[in-house]
Amino acid sequence: MAALGVVLSPAVANAAAECPSGWEFGPSLRLLQSDGWTVTVATAGRTIGGNAVAIPPNNGALWRGSGEGGSDGMTVAFGVGFDNGKVLHYTGVIDQTTGSLTGERPDGVTWKSTTNMRCIGASGAAATAGTPGEAVAPGDPNAPGAPGTPGTPEAPAA
């Protein structure tokens, strides 16, 4: 899989007051997507790397693969390559007050993490700011998309 760069906007760079050392992942990152899919990928510190799995909205056959990328403590960028040949790219931002993580794929599918990131150097309850409030509602199952892309009705069973 190709290496991914992390883009940092000035607006995000100036917002690190709540967690001055930046944020890091827990042992895994689980995303709820607007198309109804759930994606989980292995993480360590600020690195995304290792096993990944995607679960379709109908709880059908899982897609398995691996992820690669990371975070600069304020933004994230990573890709997931699945065994069926599909590759998905994700970028997002970390809310500097709560540690919640949200983003959008290039195809317009939005996503949010199911748990907040951890503040580096904080201990106990201060290390995480809680969990995100609401789940992303599944998208329209009839929305246009390429066959085999997570969230499209034509997605093949793996």
Provide φ and ψ at 88, rounded to 5°. Answer: -120, 140
**Which of the pair, 127 or 109, is modelled with greater confidence?**
109
| Cβ atoms within 10 Å of 82's Cβ, excluding its own | 21
Nearest Cα residue to 70 out of 40, 44, 32, 107: 44
Lowest average pLDDT, out of 3-7, 33-37, 43-47, 87-91, goes to 3-7
- DSSP code, position 67: E
pLDDT in tens, 75-116: 999 999 999 999 999 999 999 888 999 999 999 999 999 989
Q: Is 10 helix (H, G, I), strand (E, B) or coil?
A: helix
Residue 62 clears pLDDT 90, i.e. is over it: yes
Residue 46 has pLDDT above 90, yes or no: yes
Task: Mark 5-22 as b/e (b = at least 16 C-beta within 10 Å).
Answer: ebeeeeebeebeeebeeb
Q: How far apart are CA 39 and CA 150, in angstroms?
A: 10
CA distance 55 to 126: 31
CB distance 150 to 88 below 8 Å: yes
Topology of domain 23-115, per CATH?
A: Lipocalin (2.40.128)
Range 134-147 average pLDDT? 34
- The pLDDT confidence band at residue 156, using thresholds 50, 70 and 90, is very low
133, pLDDT greater than 90: no
Cα dihedral: 77, 82, 88, 90 (round 10):
-30
